[in-house]
Amino acid sequence: MRKSIFKSLVLALSLSALMSVTTLADTSVSAYVTADTTAQNVAPETLTEEQKKAAAILASQQAAAEANGLGTGNINMAAVNQASASPAEAMATGQKLATVNGMSVTYQMYDGDTEVLDGVTISSWVLGNDGTNIIVDQNQVAQFVQGLKDKYDSKGVQIWSSADGTQKTLTTNYGYYIDLAGETAALTANIQSLQSVTRQPVYSMTAVQAAMPQWGTTFVEVDISSQHAYFYKDGNCVWESPIVSGTATDPERATPTGIFSVNYKETNRVLKGPVDKKTGKPSYESHVDYWMPFNGGIGLHDASWRSKFGGDIYVSNGSHGCINLPKDRAQALYGLIGKGTVVIVCD
């Protein structure tokens, strides 16, 4: 009798048997399976309470799945039967497959790639049902999301072709980064909704574009080693100038490298150094006509007190960290950039 029950429950999920599972009413156990004349009927009084409960959960979850356009038509229950050690194991496996059969989560990645998570994989993560939602193995979900991160997260280096004809690199954490916790939670919610979905991952950081450099094609490049600066608009170099950067031999005055953006811009500004404890006055005061800060007190500006720019001046007679420019070049740049313009400082 038990073998007969097992076969009938398997047939309830098999397309070849043309079975359909309906919601189990509390007062009518016999309503949980209906079949055509080729199917074996199961007497409800022969089912254990555990089997009745499992059948009820399976029926309600299949109904929810089918309501969302999913179904059990492609589940090979013969294979499930053969691989199962008991009717209970077969029913549990069938329940998982029926719940998420046909659903998928399709990821549209920032670089144009598509990643599809199918129902077969999802079903292997289903642990059971708490009466309201299916229970999903969070470790498995997190491992899948980590795999996406390993494949698609930016690798810590940005690359671009400089106007000086060389390829530049900058070590930085800028780029696209999938949020492990956020995406794990979002994916779990997708699975529990039993609905297929197409979306982007949840990111903790995004960039301007997928192609290198990922900060986009409009930016200022400050090259410390060549003591030259460039401004690119839509990928074209429209401005350049020799510079004097921070004093390289003084760690407190050397210009830091990295990715920054213009905070604001101002004309007719007096730049002041730290207050001297002995005199109570700023260590220096310098008037500039064009001030474009991008990293705290560090910015691009004209330096009328200098007669020469470029070369190796910065090694021992550089600025306090700012990027000194000839006045006419500072004026021209001031008219080209604005708040938010990306500034790249590289070696």
Instruction: Please give the residue that has the higher pLDDT: either 96 or 274.
Output: 274
Where is average pLDDT lowest: 28-37, 145-154, 156-165, 297-306?
Answer: 28-37
Q: Answer whether residue 161 shows pLDDT above 60.
A: yes
SS3 call for 159:
strand
Where is average pLDDT lowest: 19-23, 48-52, 183-187?
Answer: 19-23
Which of these, 341, 327, 345, 218, lies nearest to 267 by C-alpha position?
A: 327
Q: Answer whether residue 207 shows pLDDT above 60.
A: yes
- CATH number for the domain formed by residue range(s) 104-154+176-205: 3.10.20.800
- Could you tell me the pLDDT band of residue 62, with boundaries at 50, 70 and 90? low
What pLDDT does residue 30 have?
Answer: 29
What pLDDT does residue 127 have?
Answer: 86
Which single residue is written with the structure tokens 């474009």? 292
Domains of the chain, by residue range, sit at 2-98, 104-154+176-205, 219-346
What pLDDT does residue 87 have?
Answer: 75
> Considering all CA atoms of the chain, what is the largest pairwise distance in Å, rounded to the nearest integer?
103
Strand partners of residue 305: none
Query: What is the pLDDT of the chain when averaged over all its residues?
Result: 82
Spell out the residues 6+ positions from residue 260 whose beta carbon is closer than 8 angstroms to its own.
294, 295, 342, 343, 344, 345
What is residue 319's DSSP assignment?
Answer: B
Which single residue is written with the structure tokens 């098999």? 14
Per the CB < 8 A criterion, the answer to whether 330 and 207 are in contact is no
Which single residue is written with the structure tokens 């309503």? 31
Which single residue is written with the structure tokens 């560090």? 298
Q: Topology of domain 219-346, per CATH?
A: L,D-transpeptidase catalytic domain-like (2.40.440)
Instruction: Please give the residue that has the higher pLDDT: either 103 or 22.
Output: 103
